[in-house]
Amino acid sequence: MKILVIIPTYNEETNIKKIVGRVLEVIDGDILVVDDNSIDATKTIVKSFNDTGRVFMLERPSKLGLGTAYINGFEWGLNRGYDLFFEMDADNSHDPAALRAFIEKIKEGYDIVVGSRYLNHTISVVGWDFERLLMSKFGNWYASTLLGIKQFTDLTSGYRCYTDQALKTIGLDRVRSNGYAFQIEMVYRCNKKGLRVAEVPIIFYERGGGLSKMSGNIVKEAVLLPFKLIVENLWLHINNRRQR
């Protein structure tokens, strides 16, 4: 299998060297850094890995958001024949050692594998205060309940793997979310398409350095997303009935 790990970045000079180095050690695959015009040394550090022949960078003109970064990365990889696509944060919150567990799950026949912090009624988070943990748990309950996919424990997890066929089936041109809501929307669309979605346990660590990209607009988008998807699904249902 031809593997691509996609890592979006914006001013991650304190973290990017470590995460890229560890991924290269763990799996026999490539890395695509999607950079939103970082103004620190992020791009220079990434380019220092050029001689490996396994690290590539997609430079974007400005801070365009998490969702479009992954979609651009997926499209880049699909055009180059990759089979597996990983999403991974640049801030060392995701342990590269878990990559192998995702691959093993894919080999069992799943189309998407999500790394869950809350599988089997556990909380596998290091470094968060109670308020942030409560927000994450409530956000997952809120989205999964409204969208009718309560079988999944961590819709907002950003550590996951897709097969190439899953990405082609979803229809990336239909995905509209751009913040953390993007993660919710992707699982929802996968489930609606009848794709096989699995979760594997991970430990999530607070970022190793730099600043969080969370904002009020990102939270607002996540709150509104379930309603938008419900309306979209209802509209498609009505149109399908009219065409019969």
CB-hemisphere CA count at 13 Å for 169? 18
Closest residue by Cα to residue 93 from 186, 159, 4, 25 = 159
Look at residue 176 in the predicted model and tell me its pLDDT: 86
Residue 214 has pLDDT above 60, yes or no: no
Beta carbons within 10 angstroms of residue 95's beta carbon: 17
**194-206 CB burial, b ≥16 within 10 A, e <16:** ebbbbbbbbebbe
DSSP 174: G
- Residue 123's SS3 state is coil
pTM, two decimals, is: 0.90
Task: Give, in order, the Cα–Cα distances in Å from 160 to each of 62, 94, 139, 155, 228.
Answer: 25, 10, 18, 10, 24
pLDDT of residue 67: 93
Instruction: Kindly report the number of other CB atoms within 10 A of residue 47's CB atom.
Output: 12
CA nearest neighbour of 115 among 133, 94, 139: 94
Q: How far apart are the first and last CA of the chain?
A: 42
Domain count of the chain? 1
- For residue 113, the domain's CATH number is 3.90.550.10
The tens digit of pLDDT for each residue in 36-90 reads 999 999 999 999 999 999 999 999 999 999 999 999 999 999 999 999 999 999 9
- Cα–Cα distance measured from residue 227 to residue 224, given in angstroms and rounded to the nearest whole number: 6
Write out the two tokens for 7.
Answer: 């890592």
DSSP letter, residue 97: G
Q: Residues 101-129: pLDDT tens digits? A: 999 999 999 999 999 999 988 999 998 88
Q: What domain range includes position 164?
A: 3-243
CA distances from 15 to 11, 120, 233 (A): 9, 30, 40
As a whole number, mean pLDDT of residues 205-216 equals: 66
> Which residues lie across from 33 on neighbouring strands?
7, 57
State the CB neighbour count (10 A cutoff) for residue 240. 9
